Amino acid sequence: MLEAQGLSKFYGSVPAVQNVTFRLERGQILGYLGPNGSGKSTTVKMLTGLLAPSRGQVNCDGQNIQNDLVAYRTRLGYVPEDANLYPYLTGEEYLDMIATLRSMPVAQSRSRIHALLELFSLWPHRQVALGSYSKGMRQRILLIAAIMDNPEVLILDEPLSGLDVTSALIFKSLIQTLTAKGKAVFFCSHVLEVVEKICSQLIILRKGQVIAYGSTSDVRQSIGQSSLEGTFLQLVEERDVSKIASDMVDVVVS
Amino acid sequence: MPAWEPFSRRRWEALVRTPFGCLLRLFVGRMFHGGGETGTGELGLGVGAVLILTAMPGLLVSLLMFEKYGSLIRWLRGDGVFDPFAATIPDEYFFIVLSASVTGAIALWRWDSIFLNRRDHSNLVALPIPLRTIFFANLSAVLVLAALFALVVNAASFLLFPVAVVGSQGSFAIFLRFALGHAMAVVCASVFSFFAVFATAGLLIATLPPVAFRRVALFARFALAVVLLGLLASVFTVPDDLERMSVVNAHKLAMLPPVSMLGLARTVWVKGNDVFATGIARAALSAIGLTLVTSIVAYAFTFRSSFLRIPETADISLLPRLRLSFSRLALVLKATMRTPSQRACYDFTTKTLFRSDAHLQIVSAFAAFGLVTVAQTLMSIRADQSFSIRHSPSADFLSIPFILSYSLILGIRFAFEVPANLDANWIFRFWLPPGDHLPRSVARWALLSLSLLWLAPACFAVTLIFFGWLDAVLHTLVLIACSILLVEVLLVHFRKISFTCSYPPFESNAGVILVAYLFGFFVYTDYLPQMERWSLLTPLRTLCFAPLFAIAFGMLYAYRKQILEIDKQLLFEEQSRSAF
């Protein structure tokens, strides 16, 4: 379905992402993990076609997405890292605008927007300006905007950011249900527990390079750790986190 | 309901249901609502308020024309033969300049909203719409807005000015000719001004790296504001100059865009029989065409070099950032502050003022007003032949630091009322006790340090060069005392940490306050320098300022004393005053 082949991106001579290769099939959730500055967001931008790779390419069903970005994006739902919405539009107006820009039929878009606003507990706030929404509410609006056109591929960059416990639980179930319906999900996150729980495949990135790729259990076993947290720390973090925490306390207490 | 209405509504609804129409509506709306987040200090006025505000200057000036050109008033003045096409040149020039200034000011105010930005990229580019749709939708929105503002700014004068001037002539043909000439000139002035700002911004974005642009943008806006105010100030000299000048010099003056726009009106009025007017009218049309083409080319470059490259550039939100080094002086100032809270709030105030785009714009606008007024004063000093042989400074010379001090202090004081980011004011709510009286002392030091710290030495040095030690010392002392008094007056009710309180509600006495500021300006920049000039003729007379200042400060002290303690407490949310 979605395939990255030797993706690399350089900003000047600085490599942000180097030689990332993976394949995401229908019905799969691919978790994409890495510390800050490891190149996650750059990869997401290349997968969505916002950024052209310096080397390599992204294919969707065998076709390079750069050949026809508009056609590719009709099959794509995307939740960006920052919920940078138009503050003077209401939630309903924003979703209506996205539906129009996606060329969804009016009747279909209206019914879906209303139903999803209700299900995401945003119906009472539908006429409120987005500038007054909390972070979690904005995130829910972005999630609705991403899924309402029934896309085949979902690219989610930190989708749980700001969501309350109930919304996060609903969201996790939603992703799993969508995957069961044959959607392909690329899930970029810092929340290891969620990635461990819902992702079938896993990529761990460090300094722009893939350092682990496979099924979640395979990656864990290959490192010899029982938890994803342990695996992640062993692969990515060069420093002893307990030592750092202890040093911090020393600074404050002394 | 008119028969065309359902049809036009259907057409409109069909248009906004297309991606292009939907984006067009979004981009036009963004121009009115601004590009910032709610609560971060941007004043969202809404479509109606913006349109009314932009139409008001033209309406007010048009109404004044009835008084000037009413047939009864002309008869009472004894104006026998009245040639409307010659007599109205100064007023036509004023309308042209007003139109250009108001439209240019709007374009400057919404500078950030004209171009596609990071938010547009994040929301729109990942959607299945061709990039050319986004490009043309925004370009169309800019054209729609230019046309809309050109119409709204001049709407009142389209009708009222011709009615006032030629309404009593009884000839519809003359009325039409006059109205057409006037409409062409003012609309062209508006369009030129709007696209001149658009082209300037576009060229800067297209040629500079993002970080450099954000730093240069403020200075460019400031320079453009000075130019617009300078144009507005030219109404006092240009029409008279045009009457007096030779054709060669008039050609030079016609390099000023409003003068060439005047040629447009004149060409229509005299049916092309004025060769000079026809020539400059042609130049005006060429200038408009050139500005339009430059804007579109610059916009295309910005789309390619800036908008499409947004994912590759870091988000720079805290700009422009002026790294003015006040560190040593700041240390002295901080030493004069008694508590750590005062020092922290002073730091916060000065840093916000220098680093927040919105606040710098406000101060820049006031500073630009001050500079233009100073420029005019300097012109009159230059025209004064006796300046170089004088032994004591003239009132005009003395007024210069007063003008700068008034505009700067008022500008900074005004900026204090605009919130920076209300979500972040919790830190002050959390730490400062409600009964704390520090806001006034912090604001006082901020106002004085940002104005007098450079103005007083400059004033001393310039007066020293021209008029010697004694005048320099006395003039500087009077300036310092007057500035402190002005600051005290402006802060008499102040009880908030600058930038941390919500917008003040609209007060019914806002008009009176505005008049008071204008009156204050004349007292401060005209009467005070005249008094000072009188006193400097015999330096001992300067002593008479001492009791005056003592009385003024005493009255302020007494007034503050009678204010209830509850009305002096720290404020974070402005509330509307009770109607009772």
pLDDT tens digits along B152-170: 999 999 999 998 888 777 7
Query: Mean of the pLDDT values across residues B207-235?
Result: 84
Binary contact (B123, A51; C-beta < 8 A): no
Residue A102 touches partner B, C-beta closer than 8 Å: yes
What's the confidence (pLDDT) of residue A126?
92
Nearest to B316 by CA among B217, B416, B220: B217
What's the confidence (pLDDT) of residue B330?
61
Contacts of B312 in chain A (CB under 8 A): 11, 51
Give residue-wise pLDDT tens across range A64-83.
999 999 999 999 999 998 88
In which band, very low, low, confident or very high, does the pLDDT at A250 lie, cut at 50, 70 and 90? Answer: confident
Positive or negative: CA dihedral A113, A117, A122, A124:
positive
Higher pLDDT, B191 or B346: B191
| Alpha-carbon span A185 to A34, nearest angstrom | 17
> What percent of chain B shows pLDDT beyond 90?
29
- In this predicted structure, the answer to whether residue B255 has a pLDDT above a threshold of 80 is yes
Residue B308 touches partner A, C-beta closer than 8 Å: no
Helix intervals (H) in B270-314: 275-302
In this structure, which long-range contacts are made by residues B535-543, counting pairs with CB atoms below 8 Å and at least 24 apart in sequence? B535/B474, B536/B392, B536/B393, B536/B398, B536/B471, B536/B474, B536/B475, B537/B392, B539/B470, B539/B471, B539/B474, B542/B474, B542/B477, B542/B478
Residue B35 touches partner A, C-beta closer than 8 Å: no
- In this predicted structure, the answer to whether residue B61 has a pLDDT above a threshold of 80 is yes
Give residue-wise pLDDT tens across range A202-222.
898 888 888 888 888 887 777
What's the confidence (pLDDT) of residue B289?
94
- In this predicted structure, the answer to whether residue A124 has a pLDDT above a threshold of 50 is yes
Binary contact (A131, B23; C-beta < 8 A): no
Average pLDDT, chain A: 88
Q: Residue B568: which residues within 8 A CB-CB, separation 6 or more?
A: B437, B495
- In this predicted structure, the answer to whether residue B579 has a pLDDT above a threshold of 50 is no
Average pLDDT, chain B: 83
| Alpha-carbon span B113 to A31, nearest angstrom | 37
Nearest to B477 by CA among B550, B546, B557, B555: B546
Query: Mean of the pLDDT values across residues B205-215?
Result: 82
Binary contact (A51, B30; C-beta < 8 A): no
Nearest to B363 by CA among B412, B303, B427, B308: B412
- In this predicted structure, the answer to whether residue B320 has a pLDDT above a threshold of 70 is no
| Residue from the list B37, B124, B130 with its beta carbon closest to the beta carbon of A87 | B37
Nearest to B28 by CA among B137, B121, B125: B137
Range with the poorest average pLDDT among B31-35, B369-373, B422-426: B31-35
Residue B304 touches partner A, C-beta closer than 8 Å: no
Binary contact (A88, B44; C-beta < 8 A): yes
Binary contact (A87, B26; C-beta < 8 A): no
Residue B436, both tokens: 């704390």
What 3-state DSSP class applies to B233? helix
* Helix or strand (DSSP H, E) at B64: helix B47-69
What's the confidence (pLDDT) of residue B319?
47
What's the confidence (pLDDT) of residue B35?
54
Q: How far is A216 from chain B (nearest CA, A)?
A: 29
Binary contact (B18, A100; C-beta < 8 A): yes
Give residue-wise pLDDT tens across range B545-554.
889 999 999 9
Binary contact (A106, B17; C-beta < 8 A): yes
Burial (0-12, 13-18, 19+ Cβ within 10 Å), A239: exposed
113-152 in chain A: CB under 8 A from chain B: 129, 131-132
CB atoms within 10 A of CB B112: 17
Query: Mean of the pLDDT values across residues B278-291?
Result: 92
Nearest to B552 by CA among B481, B503, B500, B494: B481
Binary contact (B312, A51; C-beta < 8 A): yes
| Alpha-carbon span B260 to B351, nearest angstrom | 44
User: A17, A46, A101: which to substitute to probe chain B, counting the most B Cβ within 10 Å?
Assistant: A101
Contacts of B130 in chain A (CB under 8 A): 70
Residue B444, both tokens: 């006082």
Q: How far is A36 from chain B (nearest CA, A)?
A: 14
| Alpha-carbon span B347 to B353, nearest angstrom | 10
What's the confidence (pLDDT) of residue B2?
58
Query: Mean of the pLDDT values across residues B129-146?
Result: 93
What's the confidence (pLDDT) of residue A206?
86
Q: What is the ipTM of this complex?
A: 0.85
User: B27, B123, B304, B317: which to substitute to probe chain A, counting the most A Cβ within 10 Å?
Assistant: B123
In which band, very low, low, confident or very high, does the pLDDT at B81 lie, cut at 50, 70 and 90? Answer: low
Higher pLDDT, B289 or A84: B289
What's the confidence (pLDDT) of residue B400?
92
Q: Residue B249: which residues within 8 A CB-CB, separation 6 or more?
A: none
What are the distances in angstroms from CA B272 to CA B85, B123, B169, B275, B287?
Answer: 13, 52, 22, 7, 19
Contacts of A51 in chain B (CB under 8 A): 311-312
Under 8 Å between Cβ of A131 and A119: no
- In this predicted structure, the answer to whether residue B187 has a pLDDT above a threshold of 70 is yes
| Residue from the list B22, B126, B129 with its beta carbon closest to the beta carbon of A48 | B126
What's the confidence (pLDDT) of residue B39?
43
What's the confidence (pLDDT) of residue B323?
52
Nearest to B496 by CA among B552, B415, B553, B397: B415
On the question of a cis peptide bond just before residue B320, with omega within 30 degrees of 0, the verdict is yes
What's the confidence (pLDDT) of residue A59?
93
What's the confidence (pLDDT) of residue B190?
95
Residue B394, both tokens: 């003239």
| Alpha-carbon span A149 to B190, nearest angstrom | 43
Residue B37 touches partner A, C-beta closer than 8 Å: yes
In which band, very low, low, confident or very high, does the pLDDT at B386 lie, cut at 50, 70 and 90? Answer: low
Helix intervals (H) in B309-394: 327-336, 340-355, 357-383
In which band, very low, low, confident or very high, does the pLDDT at B199 lie, cut at 50, 70 and 90? Answer: very high
| Residue from the list B22, B38, B122 with its beta carbon closest to the beta carbon of A101 | B22
Contacts of A131 in chain B (CB under 8 A): 37-39
Residue A154 identity (one-letter amino acid): L
| Residue from the list B36, B37, B130 with its beta carbon closest to the beta carbon of A70 | B130
What's the confidence (pLDDT) of residue B233?
82
Q: What is the DSSP string of A215-235?
A: EHHHHHHHHT-SSHHHHHHHH
Q: What is the DSSP string of A59-111?
A: EETTEEGGG-HHHHHHTEEEE-SS----TTSBHHHHHHHHHHHTT--HHHHHH
Residue B311 touches partner A, C-beta closer than 8 Å: yes
Query: In CATH, which superfamily holds the domain spanning A2-216?
Result: P-loop containing nucleotide triphosphate hydrolases (3.40.50.300)
Residue spans of the domains in chain A: they are 2-216
Q: Residue B238: which residues within 8 A CB-CB, separation 6 or more?
A: B93, B253, B256, B258, B259
What's the confidence (pLDDT) of residue B318?
45
Binary contact (A101, B121; C-beta < 8 A): no
What's the confidence (pLDDT) of residue B37?
44
Indicate the pTM of the whole model.
0.79
Q: Residue B318: which residues within 8 A CB-CB, separation 6 or more?
A: B355
Higher pLDDT, B433 or A131: A131
What's the confidence (pLDDT) of residue B373?
85
Binary contact (A131, B37; C-beta < 8 A): yes
